[in-house]
Amino acid sequence: MPGITEEDQKAMMKACKEEGLPGLKQVIVENSNKWEKEPVRIAVTGNSGVGKSSFINTFRGLKPTDPDAAAVGTTETTMEVKAYPHPKHKNFVLYDLPGVGTQQFPRESYVEEVDFNKYDFYMILSATRFTENDAWLGQKVKEQGKKFFFVRTKIDFDMYNEKKDSGENFNEERSLRKIREDAERNLRGLNAKVYLISNELRKINLFDFDRLMQDVIEGAPQVKKEPKTQSYKRTKMSGITEDDQKAMIEAFKENGLPGLKQVIVENSNKWEKIPVRIAVTEARALGNPVSSILSVD
């Protein structure tokens, strides 16, 4: 678990048990800077040749010729996992994974070869058509209980070719809708958002690239708003009311640990007078792992 380690969780539970909310608050204060600085590891994966390296460059606002750009080419250029921090959003690190299903990286050994399970979030890139490998990757992410965005690249080439083939009958909106619906149908049951983009830096204002960047940088909804519980259950609380819970959840969604800490400070006197057992569950915003305080009673 990135950010909040198992040792951190034990320390928070111990502090809460021995000293109540003041002790829990102190642990949060002492660790908040460390948690907030932990990078979110975003894996960029997919078939060979779908434009993973080009996507990483464009997402980071770089041209292929820039010094820190990922190498791109007409053949598979990524033969090992490489990390690329975002130049402006330092807590985002994009990992360029080799293409799945090649002779060098067959599906049978892919998960182990690229250490697939270590990442926090995934972008599965696809081009031209939905493939069996796309579905397989999505399933592997789902098996971890994690989230991914499905990104259909090179959509500008698709539109160019379809316009050339359809002539006067070409309707871009209809064509984009058809591609999106096809991807959503193939991803049914995997709970993934679909984005249609061009990989070219000069075309990021077209199609869904702006929306994709906003969803990732401001906090992907599937990651930011859904608490990820490990080994703890959310049950009805006594002492901490439903309104208190809502206030705490809203605080960490909007302001991270500082917001959560403020709610605890404002309510600690009231809560301290009521005996209540507290459990801790992790909720992760992109770039800001935070702790939501949930009672077991």
CA-based diameter of the chain, in Å?
74
DSSP class of residue 72 equals: -
17's tokens: 């048990």
- What is the pLDDT at residue 218? 64
Q: Which residue, 227, 229, 263, is CA-closest to 244?
A: 263
DSSP code per residue over 173-235: HHHHHHHHHHHHHHTTTS--EEEE----GGGTTSTTHHHHHHHHHTT-HHHHSS-B-SS----
Place of tokens 């869904």: 208
75 touches 93 (CB < 8 A)? no
- SS3 of 129, please? coil
Place of tokens 């959503």: 184
208 touches 253 (CB < 8 A)? no
80's tokens: 């090992």
β-strand partners of 42: 94, 121
Provide the residue ranges of all domains of the chain, joining segments of one domain with +. Answer: 6-37+227-295, 40-221
10's tokens: 């034990």
190's tokens: 């995997």
Architecture of domain 40-221: 3-Layer(aba) Sandwich (3.40)
Q: State which H helix or E strand residue 93 sits in.
A: strand 92-96
DSSP class of residue 97 equals: P
Q: Give, for all 297 residues of the chain, the pLDDT tens digit.
A: 345 566 766 777 777 677 766 676 677 767 666 655 667 889 999 998 888 888 888 888 888 888 888 887 645 556 788 888 888 777 788 999 998 988 888 899 999 989 998 888 899 999 988 999 999 999 999 998 888 999 999 999 999 999 999 888 999 999 999 999 999 999 988 888 999 998 887 887 889 988 888 888 665 433 433 433 333 233 333 456 667 766 776 766 566 556 666 777 677 666 555 554 544 444 444 444 444 444 334
Output 198-201 pairs: Cβ under 8 A, ≥24 positions apart: 198/153, 198/154, 198/155, 198/156, 199/51, 199/54, 199/55, 199/58, 199/153, 199/154, 200/54, 200/58, 200/156, 201/57, 201/58, 201/61, 201/62, 201/63
